[in-house]
Structure 1
Amino acid sequence: MRTKLRLTCSIAFLVIACLLIPLQTLVYSDEEQTAESVVYYIPVEQTVERGLEAFMSRSFKTAIENSATHIVLEMDTPGGAVDAAGNIATLIQETEIPVITFVKSKAISAGAYIALNSDEIIMTPGATMGSAAVIDGAGNAAEDKTQSYWLSEMRSAAELNDRDPQYALAMADQRIDLPELGAGAGDLLTLTAQQAMEVGYAESIATNRSEVLEYLGLENAIERDMEVSFSEQIARFVTHPVVIPILLSIGSLGLVLELYSPGFGVPGIMGISSLLLFFFGHMFAGFAGWESMILFVVGFLLIMIEIFVPGFGIFGLLGIASVIGGMLLASFSTGSMLIYIAIALVITALSTVFIFKYFGHRGPMKKIIHTDSTSTEKGYITNATRKELIGQKGETLTPLRPSGSAVLNQERLDVVSDGGYIGQGREIEVVYTAGSRIVVREVKESKLKEE
């Protein structure tokens, strides 16, 4: 009887254990999934430039180091530099973690290209994506070679995740006609959220993060935000293609004005601050090293030596070459930096002429230009040769041994005889002038009359 009871209890225990183990496994798996699901949100906002590229590189590295399972790019950008967008796209492609782009407002131009490189695209109901033509710095269409390259990149980005490439090409090429989507001949394609869903360029429409996580099946995931630091904000601002020539112009103009002002004042502080800000931003963004800063400082010192130590210009030439070399080393594109430097030199030259011409004698600018002068009224006597005195007659006020004073046309002058002694009160005649030297000779006729 006891044997049967033990056997029955053992069987019951085994049955209960078999029922509990799968349930326990499911609960554990769900907890493990929840613990391992980590979503990093990375903002992709404002202009796409090298500062944003540096920030995204740091953000991806941080996400990977902290075992992120998904990266969500929260996008709202009007586009920007093609080279920066290309590097960001490479960063996305080389990341094994799924990357999702959540278009909160707009993904235009370079933003559309970045979004197409991500694994999935989710858009808010009012978001737009497209209009990705390449333009140059003047706002004109880029040359055919650049356009061809960009079209191939747009095609590759679309095909990367099995999207129909014709829509990506229509975003960058006005010749493609898609009237059903509002992009007729001469228009670039810009997709709304609903249109993107219809053509397979968006996987879902969501209004907030919660709906994004719900679509991804990550409702219980750990959410973490990447924020742009203050230093990165400065770096993004400083490395903007429009800001770079402005900083270089302010820097060079400030140093030029400082050369014409006494001591060290506002122009010098303004110039040095602008140039240091330029180098700081590029160093923080990862484009410049200490060698570029050292080269710039050496160049600046050589220019100062050339200014204060007269020479043959060798120090000045070496200084200018070092400064330009430091800027080129700090740049992300040598060609672009040469253009920026040329723009800064032109602006500096024009501004300097304008300031000296119209503001040199007004307000605080009086301190920049030396306006004082030496004049006869202030007691100064010019060293200019007075040829008009030659042949004029006067009278000696003091004996000439051989120098002394005389009166010529009611003007008292220092004179010197042509060799002999001339007494006081004698009539004299100017025979030669050179600078401040006035040579006189006694008039013999006056002697005969006195005798």
Structure 2
Amino acid sequence: MTTFNLTTRFFRTLLPLFLLALAAMSVSAQNTSTHVAIIEIDGTITPAMASYVESSIKEAERDDAEAIVLRIDTPGGLSSAMEDIVTAIVESDVPVIAWVGPTNARAASAGVYITYASHIAAMAPGTNIGSASPVNSDGSDIDETMKNKVINDAVSRIRNLAEMRDRNEEWAVSAVTNAANITATDALDLGVINLISPNIPTLLNDVNGMTVTLNNGETVTLNTAGASTETIGMNGFERFLQMISDPTIAYLLLSFGALGIFLELSNPGSFIPGIIGVLSFILGFYGLGTLPVNWTGLALIGLAFALFFIDLFVSSYGLLLVGGMISFVFGSYMLIDESVPGYGTVARPVIWVCAGLVLASAIAIGMLVVRLQRSAPTTGKKAMIGEIATVRQELKPSGMVFFDGELWGATLEHEQDSAPVGANVRIVGVTGIRLTVALTSEEEVNKVAEAPRREHLVPVSSVSSVAQ
């Protein structure tokens, strides 16, 4: 009997403890099963960044995430990309929490709109928010004609977001009209943000139990304490587009693109430098389109390559080459408008490396042209008479023709004549490196093509070897 009583008391004591442990395990399992998606808005707001945020929000919705945390550290960016992000946040079926962090991060320009659009806004200590005044895509102030229209539109947009999220409307307008900028502490005091949290785990505990209203009218109470986190990263294509928006990368692509096109124009026919150059040029301009570009700097870089090309056909005794290099270096330094904070600039060592490559290429091409100039009259002058060349630049009466692998300046024998691009002309004279040509018939072209090639006509490979 005594043993039975002891056993009964033992189970009566342990049973509540056992049930309490089960309840704790259940709560723990429930918190672990909920997860929060982390989306990192780190860097310039570009179309690639907007695409990444939009697709990541959709992924979080599909995965039934408890909430989305936008970790923000941005100097701003394109207004069109910002609008796409704001729209995705407003229409999200999952609560969105904006967190400006870690320490030293900022939400400038477009970052202000993104923070205001989020259901809950938080900042880490030592961060700042503001400077939302709209500017041109090149970073300059908008001209007076458009300024009022653009400012009014931006103010209306930030007012709507402030009313929607019950945040400080007066400061938001000041951030747009006066480029106001404040610290995390001031932002909390002014009602710009909801709380200050030093890190994301603390943030999730701080927002636990808060209630937000989604775009569809549904009210959601956050259950984020102890929730697991999952960072959604950019895909490879998005990372590539974001990478080329870096000032140094965009500058390299622009420089290599211009150099490739220059090499192709200097020695047409190989196509590889031209193809690579055009692709690099396009990608470089995409990157520059997301940055505050100084168009004077870009024009100076273009002028540099124009001078290099002219130098191939004009005896300037190196003056055009020197002028081109000065223009290239100055343009490179001026390319990114450094008065617009947060975007960085082109790395100075990269500028000098590119300048060296461009100079070496220009000198190499120039030396080859000089050697060809010296060799053409003595080795190929007589043999060229009667040969057929193809027009590459319309002859009216002067232009460019392509013969034996080389591009030549040419003038029609009769000034009243003209020849379109692609037409065949007959060489009737050679003066230095300039040809005198005449219109020809298809029958004459066929006769020249059928005739055996003259042995003393020097091919391009032979000219190159002689030049060496």
TM-score band (shorter)? Answer: 0.5 to 0.7
Task: Note the C-alpha offset of 1:228.
Answer: 2.7
2:161 aligned partner, one-letter code: A
AA in 2 matched with 1:193: A
Identify the match of residue 145 of structure 1 among 140, 143, 149.
Answer: 149
Distance in 2, matches of 1:351 and 1:130, equals 41
SS at match of 1:134: coil
1:246-257 residue pairs with structure 2 within 5 A?
247=253, 251=257, 254-257=260-263
Contact 1:246–1:344 (CA<8 Å) still a contact in 2?
no
Q: CA deviation at 1:204?
A: 1.4
Aligned twin of 1:267: 273
Hey, what does 2:452 align to over in structure 1?
none
Q: For the residues of structure 2 that align with 1:379 and 1:224, how far apart are their CA atoms?
A: 71
How many residue pairs are counted as aligned between the two chains?
307
Amino acid at match of 2:239: Q
- Report 1 or 2 for greater relative contact order, CA contacts < 8 Å, sequence distance ≥ 6: 2
Alpha-carbon distance, 1:354 to partner: 3.4
Q: Which residue of 2 aligns with 1:353?
A: 307
Partner Cα separation in structure 1 for residue 201 and residue 125 of structure 2: 15
CA distance in 2, matches of 1:43, 1:92: 14
Partner of 2:232: 226
Larger Rg: 1
Judged with a 3 Å threshold, the aligned counterparts in structure 2 of structure 1 residues 250 and 379 are, in CA distance, closer, same or farther, namely closer
* Aligned counterparts of 1:77 and 1:240: Cα–Cα separation in 2: 13
Q: Deviations over 1:173-207 (max 9, x none)?
A: 12xxxxxxxxxxxxx31121111111111211111
Check the 8 A contact 2:107/2:129 in 1, yes or no: yes
CA distance in 2, matches of 1:435, 1:103: 73
Give, in whole Å, the separation in 2 of the partners of 1:144 and 1:158. Answer: 21
Q: CA deviation at 1:71?
A: 0.3
> Which whole-Å deviations, capped at 9, do the CAs of 1:116-142 have from their partners, x for residues lacking one?
000111111101011110111343332
- Return closer, same or farther for 1:33/1:370 CA change in 2, 3 Å cut-off: farther
- Counterpart mapping for 1:163-312 below 5 A: 163-174=167-178, 188-217=179-208, 218-238=224-244, 247=253, 251=257, 254-261=260-267, 263-264=269-270, 267-268=273-274, 270-274=276-280, 277=283
Q: Distance in 2 between matches of 1:341 and 1:189?
A: 28
SS in 1 for 2:373: coil
Amino acid at match of 1:60: I
In structure 2, do the counterparts of structure 1 residues 369 and 103 end up closer, same or farther at CA, with 3 Å as the change threshold? farther
Map 1:26-45 to 2 at 5 A: 30-31=27-28, 33-45=30-42
AA at the equivalent of 1:231: F
2:44 to 20, 30, 47: 47
Q: Partner of 1:92 in structure 2? A: 89
C-alpha distance after superposition, 1:382-403 (max 9, x if no partner): 999xxxxxxxxxxxxxxxxxxx
Task: Please tell me the root mean square deviation across aligned C-alpha atoms, in Å.
Answer: 4.5
Deviation at residue 211 of structure 1 after TM alignment: 1.0
Q: Contact (CA 8 Å) 1:261, 1:368: kept in 2 or not?
A: no
Of the three residues 72, 78, 81, the one matched with 2:78 is 81
Scaled by the length of structure 2, the TM-score of the pair is: 0.55
Alignment-derived partner of residue 363 in structure 1: 364
Distance 1:148 1:381 in 2: 74
Structure 1 contact 75–103 (Cα < 8 Å) conserved: yes
In 1, distance between residues paired with 2:264 and 2:176?
A: 48
- Letter of the 1:91 partner, please give it: A
Q: Is the 8 Å Cα contact of residues 61 and 93 (structure 2) preserved in structure 1?
A: no
Shift in CA distance, 246/151, structure 1 to aligned 2, threshold 3 Å: farther
Q: Is it true that 1:135 corresponds to 2:141 in the alignment?
A: no
- State the identity as a percent: 27
Structure 2: how far apart are the matches of 1:369 and 1:43? 55
TM-score w.r.t. length of structure 1: 0.57
CA drift of 1:216 comes to 2.1
How far does the alpha carbon of each residue in 1:216-265 deviate from its partner, in whole angstroms, 9 at most, with x for none? 23232121012234432211234679977985675466235313216527
Structure 2 unmatched ranges of 5 or more: 1-11, 209-223, 312-319, 322-360, 386-427, 431-468
For 1:368 and 1:342, the matched residues in 2 are separated by 31
**Deviation of 1:35 (Å):** 4.2
Structure 1 residue 115, shift from structure 2 partner? 0.5
Contact 2:252–2:284 (CA under 8 A) maintained in structure 1 = no
Q: CA–CA distance in 2 between the matches of 1:27 and 1:68? A: 23
Change (3 A) 1:382 1:169: same
